[in-house]
Amino acid sequence: MLEPTDLTRHATEALRTNFGTEATVVGKAPGRVNLIGEHTDYNAGLVLPVALPHATYAAAAPRTDGVIRIATAHDPEPFISHIDQLGPEIDGWAAYVAGVLWTLREAGLATGGLDLRLESSVPFGAGLSSSASVECATAAAALGIAGRALDADVRRAVVAAGMRAETEVAKAPTGGMDQSVVTFAEEGGALLIDFDSGEHRNVPLALGERTILVTDTRVEHQLTDGGYASRRAQCEKAAADLGLRSLREATLDQVETLGDDVVRRRARHIVTEIARVEPTVDALGGGDWAAIGELFAASHASMRDDFEISVPELDLAVATAVGAGADGARMTGGGFGGSIVSILPTAAVEAVTAAIDKAFAEAGHGAPGHLIASPSAGAMFTEAMS
């Protein structure tokens, strides 16, 4: 089980080792797992994600000369630039970090130099928004250095800065769910976000004897490699063919009139998936685990057959989880690899993880990873202790 280790001290110590500077602030932002509502964010739809206890920690020390130095555990070479030289042309991992410093500066927030060191317990490439957690932890650190409280307006600016870094600098055409939940989530709740109205609300989760389990297939997923962008383009084509602003306005009857088989199936996933989100909120509220099972099963089948973003490892993990006692399981996130999410009796966690491990070994797949997704709070910063 991958534990959500607090890496605050680790990050401040590493900052000292890297640059010899003392952190005054540590920004923190979680990863996320989406319970339901997949690929619906960029279709003006509904989503229901939860913030993970696993997070990125960004230790930051202010600088008076405008220089930006960023170090991570993954690259021995720090990224070095100057706040006045940042722009949309930033390569590799630094796009998610320096990209946010650039977009925050563009927004008139957090405009100074700093030394930054990132540490993360969010698994990379697992479809758990490690990138949004990096973006928003960076933003929280930079805003902490700038002396700004993370009130609702500033949080909205964090979401916008993270999205701009992701779409304009990292060039991943994503929809905004990840930055929204990792910024606005409240402990103990899921976040119901409506991408038509732009509103969100906390949905307290009374899980009782139930647990949210995430299983990372370790099939690495990328949001920049074309599959995500092509799904988004097909959805936009479907809406345009129907003469609608977005698929949020489409009915199933309208979707069935679409001539192109692929575009029709993509649109069918979006319309049926949006319709599953509010019933999921109700089922969670009422502890109706059988309904959760049906909703998750329908969602997974729709992503596998109509949206075609599943892979055999995800299908195997889902089938095995349900066979071993989970109430419901489905792939989660962008797809083409990454993780599944299951809701299951807490007493069944060991049996379910063991069954998935065994099924993966028998199928010749590499060992999966598991983590418990206790619903956690969104981005924050704390004053560093020296």
- Interface with ligand GLA (CB under 6 A): 34, 38-39, 41-42, 174-178, 223, 333-334
- Closest contact distance (angstroms) between CB of 94 and ligand GLA is 19
Taking the complex as a whole, how short is the minimal distance between the CB of residue 153 and ligand GLA, in angstroms? 22
**How much is the CA Rg of the chain, to the nearest whole Å?**
21
**Which position among 178, 216, 306, 327 bears the catalytic label?**
178
Q: What separation in angstroms does the CA of 189 have from each of 29, 281, 347, 373?
A: 16, 11, 21, 11
Cβ neighbour number for residue 74 with a 10 Å cutoff: 10
- CA distance linking residue 167 with residue 224, whole number of Å: 10
Q: CA–CA separation, 41 vs 228, rounded Å?
A: 13
Which C-beta is closer to ligand GLA: that of 67 or that of 229?
A: 229
- CA dist 301 and 168 (Å) reads 33
Which residue from 1, 3, 4, 10 is spatially nearest to 384, judged by alpha carbons?
A: 10
> DSSP characters for 198-263?
TEEEEEE---TTEEEEEEE------SSSSHHHHHHHHHHHHHHHTT-SSGGG--HHHHHT-SSHHH
Minimum CB separation from ligand GLA for residue 203, in Å? 17
Name the token pair of 79. 């990224």
Min CB(64)–ligand GLA separation in Å: 36
Contacts of 94 (CB under 8 A, 6+ apart): 70, 79
Least Cβ distance, residue 126 to ligand GLA (angstroms)? 11
Query: For residues 27 and 333, which CB has a smaller minimum distance to ligand GLA in the complex?
Result: 333
Q: Are 352 and 342 in contact (CB under 8 A)?
A: yes
SS3 191: strand
Is residue 178 part of the annotated active site? The answer reads yes
Q: Which residues are catalytic?
A: 178
